[in-house]
Structure 1
């Protein structure tokens, strides 16, 4: 679990930097009319990452519940692929953002690689969500979940606002 938690921590930090440096500071996505779908995709991924952080921080997901974690990861992968297409359709990414997205994708691949054996192991156990703690990781991942959910609310609100303001636009 330590390797998984370390990579997820890296993902959280790099993801936050990507949002702040590229999406907010450089691109101003929350106020860009053409970014409403991209904002919605970011929000959806943030909701999923918050679920994953909290789920791993506090519980062991056994039996069929383990597949819920796999579904969250699959959802994140599909949303990321859609987001890549949407970004290429609506704007030119800076080299910095392209590299950050590449590294984040590699990190997500590592998370999936480490999660698969865990999901398989947990899926063989009786159905249960067993509360557990992982030392300081529990607190850190709880903070990550709260932080990413705060940002999910913000990005959801931005997407809704952009949609309402620019209903007739085709972007």
Structure 2
């Protein structure tokens, strides 16, 4: 079986295999078919649960990113007004600025922000890639345009990878 089958295709194949067995099929094949059918059902349930959890994670990530942006703006305003971040300071503004900057440094939030940025870059790269393949061969200068767009798509993919690794600004 091809590794490129997605879960829906794999589930369908499992159910079709189970249906295809006739009454003259040996008992071991019937047992395997029942097992495959059960595995297909479980894979279907797992896929649905994973899809739902992914939606929840995406929503939580978006909330977290919005909070991080607001905290970043507040921290910038405090810093711009001359307040210095000091851990455990008696000055509430200094202590709050320190805590806000610590929140912004949390790796899971930074990784989520980087991933969202990278997804945006990936989406743009994919659009450019589609544009490249939609060009008509009779277009004047198609070779130059294609080479330029192909290089841009490659650069965008590299930039998305840098974002995911926390290397890009």
Identify which of structures 1 and 2 has the higher relative contact order when contacts are C-alpha pairs closer than 8 Å and 6+ apart. 1
TM over 0.5: same fold?
A: no
Larger Rg: 2
Q: Which has the higher strand share?
A: 1
Q: TM-score, normalised by structure 1?
A: 0.28
Structure 2 length-normalised TM:
0.28
